[in-house]
A and B are shown apart, each in its own frame.
Chain A
């Protein structure tokens, strides 16, 4: 039976991509040019996350990895980029030997070594992106530009938040985000706005944005397992929300791939339990302020409506305690 042991949280707060900068929240695409263009990052939880990711991929492979047969060339293009990034940033952890097309890739953290012929998928047991993606804790999605839209042609997604690589395969950017009930200040459909933005991403100039959500005691919420996790959201109370509800932050990095003309989405997903917000007072204040301000349609869209009130109630009580402590100390 498939299990979800939620034994993971981010411990390195200095690298945790905390999403809120002000106390109210408007749905926007706050995109920035990516400063550190290398998306490979080794966190203290690297090994734990990789093991969990591989277990999820093995247990429900169809749910978490999908591709079209014609995508191998574009997958190799990404493999090359990730291998070179890993070796360049962490030469002590990753090594590659390139003898013409004969490559040997070494992951020293996991003590693994694989030899293959570059561009020849028959020399790998897995598809190129499925293979290389298992060395990094990120999710990878390739949205390929076809005419005026972007289509999901390859996806390795183990940290889904209302997503499924299986379902979303072949869908356009607008179809995936179809019923988003939000419009910008000027009344554009949000999906159109982001799609237009994707058009302006050029190779050699990667971009980034941060997305956030809450998670009720789950690693990922796929469409496939909705019957399992959906009723469990009702089990959240103001008493257990601090431990069970996690702030889920997804740092998204966008790379235009020159050959495939695809946008590669590299997603770094990190979790912080509500109770750990207290480790940084300003994070607690911002998160409390934002969460109590979320409009109902937004909560529905994010899938957090059933347990948001309990979570806010937890934060309110903690806030009272903190203030009481401050007063008694003062």
Chain B
């Protein structure tokens, strides 16, 4: 279903530290090895509500993650603590099970990845950190625009011609 949320660097689910949202009756945590310490500290302080957790690695079957989420009741807060790639994967499986951005908090251990969608060749590629312009594999020069598409899973890449090449502009 195309309009489901995706995890990106401006996702409203991204947090620096967890807080139990009002009314939530349970905490369900998905984490990878890099997030273990944070999760253990979180669990220690979480005496208000019951908790459940699932350690996710590269070898964890997607079905196992989906089942873990699907088993939860409404009123559960889903927490994801992991490096970007794992978090991204777990996030998309969680929203496929119907979890909404209002029910998920995501804590990234490394850095979020950003992607750009080329308006020339309609492909998505990663934006090297902090770059505001990139060259696509199709050789188009792209400026990173402000719009994000959940369908294309990236920021809009505005094609432009670098100043030194402008003499050769075609029609």
How distant is B125 from chain A, measured CB to nearest CB, in Å?
Answer: 16
20 contacts between A and B (CB under 8 A): A3-B171, A4-B171, A151-B2, A164-B119, A167-B117, A167-B147, A167-B152, A170-B151, A170-B152, A171-B147, A178-B148, A179-B147, A223-B159, A224-B119, A226-B158, A227-B140, A227-B141, A228-B169, A228-B170, A231-B161
A166 contact set on B, CB distance < 8 A? 119, 122
Contact B122 A62 (CB under 8 A): yes
Q: Are B2 and A178 in contact (CB under 8 A)?
A: no
Residues of A within 8 A of B2 (CB): 68, 151, 170
- The answer on a CB contact under 8 Å between A227 and B161 is yes
Measured CA separation A151–B171 after assembly (Å): 33
Closest to A225 in B: B159
In the complex, which residues 138-171 of chain B have their Cβ closer than 8 Å to any Cβ of chain A? 140-141, 145-152, 156, 158-161, 166, 169-171
Contact A1 B170 (CB under 8 A): yes
Contact with B along A169-190 (1 / 0, CB 8 A): 1111001101100000000000
B36 at the interface (CB under 8 A from A): no
Interface size on A, residues (CB 8 A): 28
A sample of 15 more A-B contacts (CB under 8 A), given A178-B148, A223-B159, is A2-B171, A3-B171, A151-B2, A164-B119, A166-B119, A167-B119, A167-B152, A167-B156, A170-B151, A170-B152, A175-B147, A175-B148, A179-B147, A223-B119, A228-B171
- A residues 209-239 with Cβ under 8 Å of B? 223-228, 230-232
B146 and A227 form a contact (CB under 8 A): no
A170 touches B119 (CB 8 A): no
B binding-site residues for A, Cβ under 8 Å: 2-3, 117, 119-120, 122, 140-141, 145-152, 156, 158-161, 166, 169-171
With known contacts A62-B122, A164-B119, A230–B3 Cβ distance under 8 A: no
A259 at interface, CB cutoff 8 A: no
- List the B residue with the shortest CB-CB distance to A66: B151
A1 to B169, CA, bound (A): 13
Q: In the bound complex, what is the Cα–Cα distance between A169 and B141 (angstroms)?
A: 23
Residue of chain B at shortest CB distance from A164: B119
Q: How far is the CA of A170 from the CA of B1 in the complex (A)?
A: 10
User: Which of chain B's residues have a CB closer than 8 A to the CB of A1?
Assistant: 170-171
Query: Contact check: which of A171, A175, A231 meets B169 at CB < 8 Å?
Result: A231
The 10 A-B pairs of least Cβ separation, nearest first, read: A170-B151, A227-B159, A179-B146, A224-B119, A170-B2, A223-B119, A227-B161, A226-B158, A226-B159, A227-B160
